[in-house]
């Protein structure tokens, strides 16, 4: 690829392109290689040394838009991938904040770095993170609804059910499917959980991947309508708890 780098047959084309530029994959181009839940991005993100050549990008034959990130300090040794803290910091510079939060949540859950390290490296991202998040779609829902000041809990424990992804107020449950190609129900257990929730008076919204990634405005409008009408709260007064209100 370039002196003294060589690629094995079948090596990742994006990694080869980054090395040819004299850099390493970073942001969403590196996150999947670290096993992190990743939002799709059609750009190639490359971290170049702070004294790297600004002509390196033009020299590559990789036919993909390139987003260059410049290292703030010299790398101790050549790498193909930026480390998780670096890729989160780079994602925060070129993508919406929610993307960096998703990456950071995933990295915290997988223990790729500590909360303290994240707070020191990217305090703005750390302020919105939750290591208990079980998927990127859950992180996105939490971040987006949090911007409206909505009170919610992640991985809330419900009697006879167990943990749910998000609990808004007292009784509005959001369950988030993290897979692009799935019908939203993983097993018969999901049906039983929903029945148990509804029997106890909870409102259940089970969201597919497409709802979060491509149809969020519709979902957000529905959630906001429930919250504005206080249907996410238990009714007050004798015998009110558990009363089911229609959407």
Q: What is the per-residue pLDDT across 190-229, written as a single tens digit (0 to 9) for each?
A: 888 999 999 999 999 999 999 999 999 999 999 999 999 9
Type and span of the H or E element at 206: strand 203-207
**pLDDT at residue 11 tops 60:** yes
CA distance 234 to 242: 7
Bridge pairing between strands 152-158 and 162-168: antiparallel
What pLDDT is recorded for position 92? 97
Give the rounded percent of residues in the chain with a pLDDT score beyond 90.
70
Q: How many CB atoms lie within 10 A of CB 80?
A: 18
| Strand order from edge to edge, sheet including 66-70 | 24-25, 44-48, 66-70
Would you call 165 helix, strand, or coil by DSSP? strand
- Tell me the pLDDT tens digit for each residue of 118-148: 999 999 999 999 999 999 999 999 999 999 9
User: Global pTM?
Assistant: 0.87
Q: What is the CA radius of gyration of the chain?
A: 22
Which DSSP category does 233 fall into? S
CA distance 103 to 58: 29
Q: Using 50, 70 and 90 to split pLDDT, how confident is the model at 238?
A: very low
What pLDDT is recorded for position 5? 85
Angstrom distances, CA of residue 103 to CA of 79, 131, 142: 20, 11, 14
Ordered domains of the chain (ranges, CATH): 13-93 (no CATH), 136-228 (3.40.960.10)
User: What residues have CB less than 8 Å from 28, skipping those under 6 apart?
Assistant: 38, 39, 40, 41, 43, 45, 87, 91, 95, 99, 103
């Amino acid at each position: 690829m370039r002196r003294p780098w060589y690629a094995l047959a079948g090596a990742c084309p994006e990694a080869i392109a980054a090395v040819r530029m004299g850099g390493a994959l970073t942001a969403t181009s590196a996150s999947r290689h670290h096993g992190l839940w990743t939002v799709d991005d059609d750009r190639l993100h490359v971290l170049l040394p702070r004294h790297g050549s600004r002509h390196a990008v033009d020299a590559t034959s990789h036919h993909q838009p390139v987003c260059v990130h410049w290292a703030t300090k010299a790398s101790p040794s050549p790498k193909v991938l930026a480390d998780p803290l670096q890729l989160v910091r780079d994602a925060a510079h070129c993508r919406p904040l929610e993307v960096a939060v998703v990456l950071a949540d995933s990295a915290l859950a997988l223990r790729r770095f500590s909360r303290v390290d994240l707070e020191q490296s990217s305090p703005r991202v750390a302020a919105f993170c939750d290591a208990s998040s079980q998927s990127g779609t859950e992180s996105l829902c939490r971040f987006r609804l949090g911007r409206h000041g909505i009170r919610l809990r992640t991985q809330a424990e419900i009697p006879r059910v167990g943990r749910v992804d998000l609990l808004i107020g007292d009784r509005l449950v959001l369950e988030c499917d993290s897979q692009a190609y799935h019908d939203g129900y993983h097993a018969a257990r999901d049906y039983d959980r929903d029945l148990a929730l509804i029997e106890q008076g909870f409102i259940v919204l089970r969201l597919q991947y497409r709802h979060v990634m491509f149809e969020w405005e519709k979902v957000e409008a529905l959630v906001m309508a429930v919250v504005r009408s206080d249907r996410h709260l238990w009714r007050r007064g004798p015998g009110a708890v558990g009363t089911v209100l229609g959407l």
